[in-house]
Structure 1
Amino acid sequence: MSERRPVVDLTDEEARRALILKWGTVPADVLPAWVAEMDYALDPIVHEAVLRAVRDGVTGYPVFGYTPELGEAYAGFAARHYGGEVEPEWVYPVVDVTAGVRVAIDVLSEPAPVVFLVPGYSPQLDVADLTGRRRVDLVLDADAQRAEIDLDRLDALLADGARTLLLTQPHNPWGRVFSRAELEGIRDVVVRHGARVVCDEIHAPLVLPGAAHTSYLAIEGTHDHAVAVVAASKAFNTAGLRCAQLLAPDPETRRRLTEVPMSRNDSWSPLGVVAAVSAYTDGDGWLASLVERLDGLRSQLSDLLAEQLPLARMRPLEATYLVWLDARAYGHADPAEVAFDRGRVKVAPGHDYAPGLAGHVRLNIATSPDRLREIVRRLAAAWSYHR
């Protein structure tokens, strides 16, 4: 592991300059805790690698197709962090994870419905439609204590004609890390119906203590029907640099993907490649500090909710810095709107992740302990207002 480096909090002023969507689109009196960006300075190693590339003028086109240094960097990272055996040639650059998911479905999947886990990452609600397919939802029981995939329901949807499962592992916004046994159960259902899996694994580096990431591709008997999409961008706060990776272990699958016309696969950035290679190769020390910070914030949030929002229900957070909160007990159909109007906190509304769902929010805790304390104080004041 590389030398430990601390996580440095951005000041409000620094955050407004750096995080132009999260902080720059809200009024100055609003605390933003919505979009999945962290209120932290970049890992200095990644920062310097990108600055060096800019000084060298690396602002043109990337190398299209297989990029050896990227493949080798990710393969090493996967081996160290997940014990996974990833061959460098499996790794194919794409512009971001959602674009990679879209390309994979568009190129590899049958023209049949796509199963999507709901609540689910909001930009991916539209991916099936964008590829000319219908989305069919596998809906989480809103009252379940722990989010689990209903394999009987998955079996029924595939029996009814769906041919692709869009899986998110770890899951956003559930905060779940699916176990090897759960993934094996999914595999068995998918194989029984001759279906395909496209697995979004962007949050894999952000698994918290008490859980461990298993890639769907690490499950025996998955390589012929599955691809995974990964990135360093969520863990290292580099989404704007535009480079994710599609993992395709099956040679025929790789052939189909590499023959895609360039205009069908959005072009990634060479600076994104630089950032990803740096993060995968030299980012372990900073990432360890980040996971330690997020673990502490997870505990802090649990305590704050117990003290100030005892009726809110927080699902167990096993990965990510995104908490799925059930605030129905406070009686607001749209608690995100109430939080913004009365509490001056911006959180993501639950209905963005499950159309029609009331009473839920997604809360981003990747900030300073002081800000998190103030966010919960404001939420408590806002949501308890009518009680």
Structure 2
Amino acid sequence: MTQADLPELTPLTPGTASEAGATDVYGSLDPAALRHPDSLKWTAFPEGVIPLWVADMDYPVAPPILDALHDRLTRGLGYPQLPGDPLLNAALRERLASHGLTDLPPEGVAFLPGVVPGIYASVAGLTRPGDPVLSMTPVYHPFHLAVTEQGRRVAAAPLREPEGTGARWEIDWAALETAAQGCGLLLLCHPHNPTGRVWDAAELARLRDFVLERGLYVMSDELHAELRFTSQPFEAFAADPRVRARTVTLTGPAKAYNTAGLGIGAMVGHDPELVRRVRAAAGGLMGHPSALSVTAWQAALRAGGPWLAETVAYLRGNRDVLGAFLAARLPWVRCALPQATYLAWLDLRAHPRAGDIQQFLLDEARIAVHNGPVFAPGELGARYQGFVRLNFATSRPLLIEALERMADALGETISA
């Protein structure tokens, strides 16, 4: 099957950018060039394997970021503005205001070496050893690692699985109520990794009520907020003033601008004491962002908008190709197409090899994906055996080749 053989793709949302500017560059990616020795994604598996696992994109870095980095190297590389670069601080506040995070106090932004350290710091600063910490599974695995590796317990509330065509992953409110007993902290992933859900206004309102009724603190990881396939504005969890004093929001450029190798993030909150408390929990164990990472994020916020819009449009096209391919060639595979992120959560539990599906796809299809059990702690991981997370942020020809390999290996029909 070629791209021309696929059913017509879902049109882009009115008002969004065309993918035309990205097609020539992204559509002709060379696997040999991608497999350079600095790439974890492309060197973790043998040559010939198409890597669709770890969450970074195969696309070149935005030219404004590269230009800014080249310019920065003409100056000294001594300590950057360790208290927080004022230019980056101002640009970030402007972007966060568009998400509803207005009126941040002067000490409401703390820069970090990445978002994951902020997850760990939130657990360390807002809970005590032995405490249960509330989270909704499946979820990005540092959520539960930050809990278990620091001597806390995961209080997991599994999401409700989609049922029927067009259904989506939903919050299971009864499960959340049960799991919340004794908890003081909710770890929220918004947009959600790995399902790609963007929690809507009604869900956010109900979740805020839930948090307030139980006196929970919230760590909201909003790292994927810029990678949405809708023209609707993004609503941060702390956009509602009622929950601002109880929420720390984590963000960074790594996913939207494909700069995971330049570690930087930010912890944002409307209560300066809460921000200090969480940041202080890590103390000197947490480093500071590098000079180059600060420069890269500045450039992204200042001039990276057109590149990001074209990239998101191309990703949406890839998402729609994936959906069309599954419908046409693998109709038994269940997948609620993501509303955000470049990650698809595929349900392959109907396959006879569901028990070792990741290894099966690696051996038989020569594609590498993330295994479902990774996205829940301990024994709960077994609930997601047979699921895989697939990263579609690659060229469309490579994505189609990978899907063809998958179809050939899995079989287009499954016997009852």
Normalised to the residue count of structure 1, the TM-score between the two structures is 0.92
User: What is the letter of the counterpart of residue 21 of structure 2?
Assistant: P
Q: Unaligned regions of 5+ residues in structure 1, if any?
A: none
1:41 aligns with 2:60: yes
Query: For the residues of structure 2 that align with 1:206 and 1:360, how far apart are their CA atoms?
Result: 22
Name the CA shift for 1:134/1:298 in 2 (closer, same or farther; >3 Å): same
1:205 aligns with 2:226: yes
> For 1:346, which of 358, 368, 375 is the aligned residue?
368
- Equivalenced residue count is 383
> For 2:331, which of 307, 310, 317 is the aligned residue?
310
Decide whether the 8 Å contact of 1:342 with 1:382 is kept in 2. Answer: yes
Partner of 2:85: 67
Query: For the residues of structure 2 that align with 1:329 and 1:284, how far apart are their CA atoms?
Result: 41
> For 2:199, which of 155, 164, 178 is the aligned residue?
178
Name the CA shift for 1:19/1:124 in 2 (closer, same or farther; >3 Å): farther
> For 1:365, which of 386, 392, 416 is the aligned residue?
392
Q: Identity rate of aligned residues, in percent? A: 35
> For 2:104, which of 78, 81, 87 is the aligned residue?
87
User: What is the letter of the counterpart of residue 384 of structure 1?
Assistant: G
Cα shift at 1:269: 1.5
User: What is the letter of the counterpart of residue 155 of structure 1?
Assistant: E
Partner of 1:220: 241
Partner of 1:384: 411
Decide whether the 8 Å contact of 1:114 with 1:164 is kept in 2. Answer: yes
Larger displacement relative to structure 2 (324-333 or 147-156): 147-156
Query: For the residues of structure 2 that align with 1:68 and 1:245, how far apart are their CA atoms?
Result: 13
Partner of 1:6: 21
Cα shift at 1:88: 7.1
Cα shift at 1:132: 2.8
Query: For the residues of structure 2 that align with 1:86 and 1:374, how far apart are their CA atoms?
Result: 48
Structure 1 stretches of 4+ moved >6 Å: none
Cα shift at 1:212: 4.1
Query: For the residues of structure 2 that align with 1:116 and 1:258, how far apart are their CA atoms?
Result: 21
| Aligned pairs (5 A) from 1:71-220 | 71-80=89-98, 82=99, 84-85=101-102, 87=104, 89=106, 90-109=108-127, 112-142=131-161, 144=163, 145-158=167-180, 160-209=181-230, 212-220=233-241
Name the CA shift for 1:175/1:35 in 2 (closer, same or farther; >3 Å): same
Name the CA shift for 1:114/1:203 in 2 (closer, same or farther; >3 Å): same
User: What is the letter of the counterpart of residue 25 of structure 1?
Assistant: A
Query: For the residues of structure 1 that align with 2:65 and 2:179, how far apart are their CA atoms?
Result: 43
Cα shift at 1:379: 0.7
Query: For the residues of structure 2 that align with 1:79 and 1:255, how far apart are their CA atoms?
Result: 21
Name the CA shift for 1:264/1:108 in 2 (closer, same or farther; >3 Å): farther
Deviations along 1:301-347, one digit per CA (max 9) or x if unpaired, are 11111222111111131000000011122222232211100010111
Query: For the residues of structure 2 that align with 1:65 and 1:262, how far apart are their CA atoms?
Result: 14
Decide whether the 8 Å contact of 1:68 with 1:88 is kept in 2. Answer: no
Deviations along 1:337-370, one digit per CA (max 9) or x if unpaired, are 1110001011111111131122111011111111
Name the CA shift for 1:324/1:280 in 2 (closer, same or farther; >3 Å): same
Cα shift at 1:123: 2.5
Name the CA shift for 1:193/1:363 in 2 (closer, same or farther; >3 Å): same
> For 1:32, which of 51, 75, 94 is the aligned residue?
51
Name the CA shift for 1:236/1:64 in 2 (closer, same or farther; >3 Å): same
Cα shift at 1:61: 3.5
Normalised to the residue count of structure 2, the TM-score between the two structures is 0.86
